[in-house]
Each structure stands twice: as structure tokens, then as C-alpha cells.
């Protein structure tokens, strides 16, 4: 198969295929700083009366001193509703990873309609994402996840992924895990998973068909991370359909004219 990719495109492609993910500095620092400033504004509005003179890092990393576990999900859902209501938010998010997505996925893309947010307080067992692959529940294998940390994420403050080679071994043996709990499954692969350290200012793009998840955050800081799915506009869809879950964002001229084309009426 001919591959008319530049050397840098081939290097990025090889890294993604061999690891199942890539981590890169965000492509647009202005967009990143704008996104985090929106969070600080929303948090400040929510925590009326609290002093917010600390740096953005301190506000986000130490939010567990302001929000108890019992109120976390209500707080998180309110923040999600509010930032998804900002008209330019999704476009800013796309700018962070656009050049990498165009190499790995394509330049005619569909983007998830709503961006997700994870807030994981230290020691909180209520915000866990058990080991899973999104394709196991009907997602298309043509999707990628763009995962953005709003603070430095490391060790148990981050997420883990099972590399492609270990995933292939798991697939061959998957029938033997029938009836197992997600915890049993994690324990069977825990020595093979890769913990991903992603700093603020970096973006992670990973293959959501690989098993991944998180564990109890045993660090002393709160994790803030966002995630959003992208896929080639004309690649197969799973249970999450265009118009319901995805929206076209970079439809090109030839596709527009091709979709509108009708043969002349010869009758």
C-alpha cells in the first residue's frame, strides 16, 4: 500500500499504532488558556463568597477543599452544562488537537456534540471508571478520544490504557473472562497497563477500542480532565449516530457538491 505521508506524519502514525495513543503539546496555547479561564470563571461563580485569589493551578488542584464528595457530581454536571452552552467552546477544543487529528483521523471530521468532564478528588471512590473499551458497548472502532488535562495528571491522578499487544492477548483469552467483574478483569491486566502522565499544556489522543480506565486518586491533588470523541465523517458509525451524538465540523467542498449531486433528468 502506498503511503504518501510526510516523515513527520509517518512518525506520528507509527507512534499511535504501536502505543495506541500519542501525547503532544497542544496545537493552540491561546485556545487552551481560554478554556481554562472559562473554568475558573464558572467555578468562581459557583463558589460565591469563597476567596479566589489563588492561581488557576491551585484553584483546580485543591478544589477538594471546597467541594465535598457528596456534592461533587452535582457540581460537575452543572459545570458541564455551562461550558457546553458556550458557543465557541467546542471549536476552541478542536483547535487544541486539529493538526494531530488531521494526520491520525482525517480532515473531514465529525465531533461529539457534548464535551465531557472528569473531576476526581483525592481518595474518592465514587468517581471511578472501571476498565472498559468503548467498542464493547457499541462505539465505532473508527473513533478516537481527545483527552485534555486542565492540571498536571500523573500516576493515579491520570488514566491507564492497555497497549495494543496486550489487548490482542486479552481478546484471544476473552472468553475465559466471561462472568468476571470489571475489578477481576483489571487485576488480570494490571501488570500490563500503561499509566499516562499528561501535563497541562499537553493533549492525549488515544484509541478508545483499547481497554482503559482509572483508579482511586491516591495523589494529594484533584484531577480535572476533559474528553471528546472525533471520527472520520464518512467512516462507519456504531450506536452513536451522526446528528444524535456526532456533528460534522470540517466538511469539504467536494463532499458538499458530491452529496448534492443528482444526474440530469433524461426522461
- 172 by DSSP, 3-state: which? helix
Residues 10, 24, 102, 34, Cα dihedral to 10°: -170
Report pLDDT for 266: 82
The band of 51, judged by pLDDT with boundaries at 50, 70 and 90, is: low
Contacts of 101 (CB under 8 A, 6+ apart): 94, 109, 144, 146, 205, 230
Examine the pLDDT at 49 and tell me if it is beyond 60.
no
The pLDDT tens digits for 194-236 are: 999 999 999 999 999 999 999 999 999 999 999 999 999 999 9
Report pLDDT for 1: 66
26: its cell numbers:
497542544
Examine the pLDDT at 19 and tell me if it is beyond 90.
yes
Report pLDDT for 175: 85
247: its cell numbers:
456533528
Residue 13 exposure: Cα atoms within 13 Å on the Cβ side: 13
Report pLDDT for 142: 98
Distance CA 263, CA 267 (A): 11
Distance CA 142, CA 119 (A): 27
What CATH number labels 9-233?
2.60.120.620
The band of 53, judged by pLDDT with boundaries at 50, 70 and 90, is: low
Report pLDDT for 156: 96
The pLDDT tens digits for 135-157 are: 999 999 999 999 999 999 999 99
The pLDDT tens digits for 74-118 are: 999 999 999 999 999 999 999 999 999 999 999 999 999 999 999
The pLDDT tens digits for 167-180 are: 999 999 888 888 78
Average pLDDT, stretch 236-253? 96
Write the DSSP symbol of residue 54.
Answer: S
Report pLDDT for 229: 98
Amino acid at each position: 500500500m502506498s503511503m504518501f505521508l510526510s516523515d513527520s506524519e509517518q512518525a506520528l502514525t507509527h507512534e499511535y499504532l504501536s502505543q495506541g495513543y500519542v501525547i503532544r503539546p497542544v496545537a493552540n496555547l491561546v485556545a487552551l488558556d481560554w478554556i481554562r479561564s472559562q473554568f475558573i470563571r464558572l467555578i468562581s461563580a459557583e463558589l460565591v463568597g469563597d476567596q479566589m485569589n489563588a492561581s488557576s493551578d491551585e484553584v483546580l488542584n485543591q478544589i477538594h477543599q471546597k467541594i465535598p464528595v457528596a456534592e461533587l457530581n452535582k457540581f460537575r454536571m452543572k459545570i458541564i452544562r455551562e461550558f457546553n452552552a458556550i458557543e465557541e467552546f467546542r471549536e476552541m477544543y478542536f483547535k487544541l488537537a486539529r493538526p494531530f487529528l488531521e494526520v491520525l483521523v482525517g480532515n473531514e471530521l465529525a465531533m461529539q456534540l457534548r464535551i465531557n468532564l472528569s473531576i476526581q478528588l483525592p481518595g474518592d471512590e465514587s468517581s471511578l471508571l472501571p476498565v472498559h473499551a468503548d467498542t464493547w458497548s457499541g462505539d465505532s472502532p473508527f473513533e478516537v478520544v481527545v483527552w485534555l488535562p486542565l492540571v498536571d495528571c500523573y500516576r493515579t491522578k491520570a488514566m491507564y490504557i492497555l497497549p495494543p499487544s496486550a489487548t490482542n492477548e486479552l481478546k484471544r483469552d476473552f472468553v475465559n473472562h466471561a462472568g468476571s467483574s470489571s475489578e477481576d478483569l483489571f487485576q488480570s491486566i494490571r501488570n500490563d497497563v500503561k499509566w499516562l502522565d499528561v501535563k497541562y499544556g499537553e493533549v492525549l489522543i488515544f484509541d478508545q477500542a483499547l481497554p482503559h480506565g482509572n483508579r482511586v486518586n491516591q495523589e494529594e491533588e484533584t484531577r480535572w480532565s476533559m474528553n471528546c470523541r472525533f471520527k472520520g465523517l464518512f467512516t462507519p458509525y456504531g450506536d452513536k449516530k451522526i446528528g444524535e451524538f456526532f456533528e460534522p465540523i470540517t466538511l469539504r467542498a467536494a463532499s458538499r457538491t458530491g452529496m448534492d449531486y443528482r444526474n440530469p433528468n433524461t426522461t
